[in-house]
Structures are given as C-alpha cells and as structure tokens.
Structure 1
Amino acid sequence: MNEELKLPVTTTQIPEGLELITLGGGCFWCTEAVFQHLEGVEKVISGYSNGYVENPSYREICSGTTGHAEVVQVFFDPDKISLRKILEVFFATHDPTTVNRQGNDTGPQYRSAIFYTTVSQENIAMDLINGLNNQDIYDKKIVTEVAELQNFYPADDYHQDYYNLNGHQPYCQFVIKPKVNKLEKYFKDLMKE
C-alpha cells in the first residue's frame, strides 16, 4: 500500500533526498510565508493545482471557474521534518473547516486541500484528519480535500516570496503576519533560526 504515484508532467522535479507535498490553505501568500519559516523546508513555490484549465492566469484563477486551488508546493527534507509535522502546522495555521473560504477570501480557489504524490502521504493526511476530528479539535468537522496531485502551474514571479518582499503592505501586516506569529508561538521548535 506504500506504492509511489507518477508525478504530473507539470510538477517541478523533486531534488534527490527531498519530498514534495502540495497544500492549499487559502491565499498562497499566507501559506508560503508559514512554510518558508520551517526547518527542513528547502523550497516553497506558490501556484495553482488540480484544475482543468492549462496554464491558467491569476485573473482566471480569481474568477473561481478553473477548478484550481491556490497552493504551495513544499519541498522538504524528511530527515529534518516529517510530513506529519508539516501537516500539523498546516492545520494549525488555517481554517480547515470552511468550504471554499479562508477569512474574507471566498471561492473554490481558496479551498483547504492536500494534494499528495504517494499513497503513504495520503495515508498520513487521512490519519491526521481522522485523529483531529475524533479529538474535536475544531467546532466543525475538517473539510480539507485530500486528493492525488493532478497538475501544478507556478504563479507569476511577483507572487513568489511575497511576504518576505512585501511585508510592509497592509495585507501582509493584517492577514499574513498573524499566521507567522501563530507559527512562532506554537511551533517555535520547528522554525529556522
């Protein structure tokens, strides 16, 4: 049951020794900022996954009609951080109980999603979701989509490394910074120095 899946053609190649997980937690600027701070995360790329339009533009994504989710591809060293820890951070830094919504961002492109590349990744995600639901961690059940990664299209360059380059902007200060602060408060031991 641990059989590897074939990566989609549009997926960036995975460097040797690293694993890849693709996560949708609302606006990719927020999700990217959180995962860039984790020890063992080597690279984070913002983009769009699991839609049915090839090479979608940001404007098309914002229309909510392409089927894509705004995501980040997280390349990590499993010897330094486990997928389970990454997913624990993922669930703690966004709302996995709302369908097609994160805060003021609404539409299917903002859905909570985990797009896996191996059966073992799917199993870890489902085990964690079941455990969180059984513990009643949230007021409502988790609605995070868990599906095989079908495709990935990187967002334009100006979307990459957004928080680090634009941290002074109001959106970064009022929406992204609280997520990074939450990461620092609850997962300080997992953060880069």
Structure 2
Amino acid sequence: MLEQIGLGGSCYWCTEAIFCSLTGVKNVQQGWLNSFDDQAWFSEGILLQFDTQLIRLDELIEIHLNTHSATSNHSRRDKYRSAVYCESMAKIEEAKSIIARLQDDFDKAIITQPLLLNEFSLSPEQYQNYYYSDPTKPFCQNQITPKLLKLIEQFNDKVDHKIINKALDK
C-alpha cells in the first residue's frame, strides 16, 4: 500500500537525494510545503510516496531525524523548517509518538514538528532529481555525497544499492 508524507529540515536537494536512495520509496518531489497551522510559511522540503510493505513510517522518520539537524534551531529554520508533514490527524499522532520514542537516541531535544500538510508547490523542473541527474556537480560532491555515505553507514539495510552505487561510482 502506498502512503504519502512530506519532510523538511534541510536543503531539498539533499533531502530528495537521501529519500530517493531508499528501498520502498516510490516517488519523491521537491519543493515548498506549508501546514494548516501557519499557511503563510512555506519551507523547502519533499513530498514522497512509500510502499508500507517495504519501508515503514517510523523508519522514514528515523532516517529523517538522523540526516538533518533535527535538534538545532539554527538561523535558517525560516527556510528549512524541521517537520514531518502528515495528511491526517491520526498520522500526526503517529509521528509524534515515533519522535518521542526516538528522543532517547539524541543528546538534545528534537525540534522536528509533525504538522498537517496544507499545500505543496513543486520546485522548477530543472531542480527535480538534482543529485541523481548529475552527481558530479560540485554541490553534489561537497554536500550531498557525504550525506549519502552517512546514510549507507547508518541505514545500509534500507538503502537501494542499485541506485546509490551507480551515482557514487561516477
């Protein structure tokens, strides 16, 4: 069964590459998301569909928390809101429970908020699939590749090695 969730926390190019690299993630689009609690505030993020028989919501949230600064309320949070965007109140409650359960894995308080997804606006076509369209770009090499190597180190069993190895071999 396919479900959908939005994630925000860092540059959408980085977040897109991380989640495109996972087994069970079927579609990832990057752009800007907002929530019903603050409709004027759009921040960078991704909207993804995932196969619940191949990867669970708790696994996606754990990966998300470990691949961006989920405990840092840094100066760029206006652009990079740390959030899990859900499509129902039941999913918000599930995400809250997952984050609370994962809190013990972190030294500082997790600031990531489960929010009710309001709108998603797709970024321009030339930015879609940014990393995998050309992993040799300087930003990809300097910023995204190190995050993918960390992903492999921490979540090797969730990585789609066919996809990621092709890019890392370039």
CA distance in 1, matches of 2:52, 2:102: 22
* Partner amino acid, structure 1, of 2:16: E
Q: Does the Cα contact within 8 Å between 1:100 and 1:107 map onto a contact in 2?
A: yes
CA distance in 2, matches of 1:87, 1:167: 25
Match runs of 1:1-193 below 5 Å: 17-50=1-34, 67-99=41-73, 106-133=76-103, 135=104, 137-192=105-160, 193=162
Deviation at 1:146, TM superposition (A): 1.6
Q: Does the Cα contact within 8 Å between 1:51 and 1:69 map onto a contact in 2?
A: no
State the Cα RMSD in Å. 1.7
The answer to which structure has the higher helix fraction is: 2
Unpaired segments ≥5 residues, structure 2: 163-170
| Residue in 2 that maps onto 1:6 | none
The answer to which structure has the higher strand fraction is: 2
Superposed CA deviations along residues 169-188 of structure 1, whole A, max 9, x for unmatched, are 22111111111111111111
Q: Does the Cα contact within 8 Å between 2:9 and 2:45 map onto a contact in 1?
A: yes
Deviation at 1:119, TM superposition (A): 2.8
Count, aligned residues: 158
The percentage of counterpart residues that share the same residue type is: 34
Q: 1:143 to 1:85 in 2, by over 3 A?
A: same
* Partner amino acid, structure 1, of 2:23: E
Q: 1:111 to 1:100 in 2, by over 3 A?
A: farther
Superposed CA deviations along residues 98-129 of structure 1, whole A, max 9, x for unmatched, are 2255xxxx241212111101233212211122
CA distance in 2, matches of 1:160, 1:169: 14
* Partner amino acid, structure 2, of 1:171: F
CA distance in 2, matches of 1:157, 1:39: 24
Q: Does the Cα contact within 8 Å between 1:33 and 1:161 map onto a contact in 2?
A: yes
Q: Does the Cα contact within 8 Å between 1:84 and 1:125 map onto a contact in 2?
A: yes
CA distance in 1, matches of 2:30, 2:74: 18
Unpaired segments ≥5 residues, structure 1: 1-16, 53-65
Structure 2 residue matching 1:172: 3-state secondary structure = helix
Moved >3 Å (runs of 4+): none
TM-score calculated relative to the size of structure 1: 0.76
Deviation at 1:41, TM superposition (A): 0.5
Deviation at 1:51, TM superposition (A): 6.7
* Partner amino acid, structure 1, of 2:97: D
